[in-house]
Amino acid sequence: MHRDIEHVLFSEEDILKGIEAVAAEVTEVYRGQDWTVVSVLKGSCIFASDLVRRIPIPLQMAFVAAHSYGDGTRPGELHVDFLPNEDEIQGCNLLLVDDILDTGRTMFALKNELLSRGATEVKTCVFLDKPSRRELRLEPDFRVFEVRDEFVVGYGLDFAGRYRNLPYVGALKPSVFECTQGERS
C-alpha cells in the first residue's frame, strides 16, 4: 500500500494538529447548543471520529451514506444510500462532516436533502477543500486543509475502495490509476 504513494501531503502529525485547530473553532460556534455531527460515510468516518474526540462539549452523532460511481478519480451521479432518522433531522442543528469538498455536488445535495426534511440549520465541515474544482457555489463553514487539483488518498479517502486506512494523506502514483474502475464514497 505505502509503495503506491508518490508523495505525502499531510502526515499524521499535521493532520491531528489541523484537526485540533478546527475542533476549537467548532466548539466555540456550538457551545451551549443542542447539535449533531452528521458524518458522511464512508469517507469521513476517520476524520469525524478524530474531530469529535477533540470537541469537549456535548454533541450527538448521526450518519448519512452517499456514493458516486465515477471512473475512480472523477465523480459520476450521486446516490444517497441512507439518511439519519426523522427525529435526528427535524428541528435539529446539524454539522455535516465530509472527507473532501471537490465539485461540491455531494455536500450541496445532502445539505438540501436535510433542510428539506426539516433540519433547522446545516453547516458544513470538511477535512480537505479543493476549491479549484468547484462546480456549485458552496464554501465550507469549517475546513482543515486546502488542496490543489490532485487526486489524494488516505485518512478515509479511497481509490477503488482501497487506501482509506493509510494514516496520512498522499497522492497516488499515476501507474496505480491505469486500468482501474472505481466506486467512490
Cα of 63 vs its chain's centroid, Å: 12
Closest CA to 92 of 62, 65, 64: 62
Contact between 156 and Mg ion per CB under 5 A = no
Nearer to ligand 5GP, 84 or 170 (CB): 170
Q: How far apart are CA 40 and CA 12, in angstroms?
A: 21
To ligand 5GP, the closest distance from the beta carbon of 43 in angstroms equals: 4
Is 102 part of the annotated catalytic residue set? yes
Cα of 114 vs its chain's centroid, Å: 16
152 makes contact, choosing from Mg ion, ligand 5GP, none, with CB < 5 to 8 Å by partner type, with ligand 5GP
To ligand 5GP, the closest distance from the beta carbon of 40 in angstroms equals: 6
Interacting residue with ligand 5GP among 48, 72, 88, 98 (CB under 6 A):
98
Nearer to Mg ion, 29 or 109 (CB): 109
Residue number closest to Mg ion, CB atom:
43
**DSSP letter assigned to residue 173:** P
User: The cell 446516490 sits on which residue?
Assistant: 79
User: Could you tell me the maximum CA-CA distance found in the chain, to the nearest angstrom?
Assistant: 51
Residues 112, 96 contacting (CB under 8 angstroms): no
Nearer to Mg ion, 43 or 84 (CB): 43
- Cα-trace Rg, the chain: 16
Nearer to ligand 5GP, 84 or 140 (CB): 140
Residues at the site binding ligand 5GP, with contacts judged by CB under 6 A: 43, 75, 98-106, 151-153, 157-159, 184-185
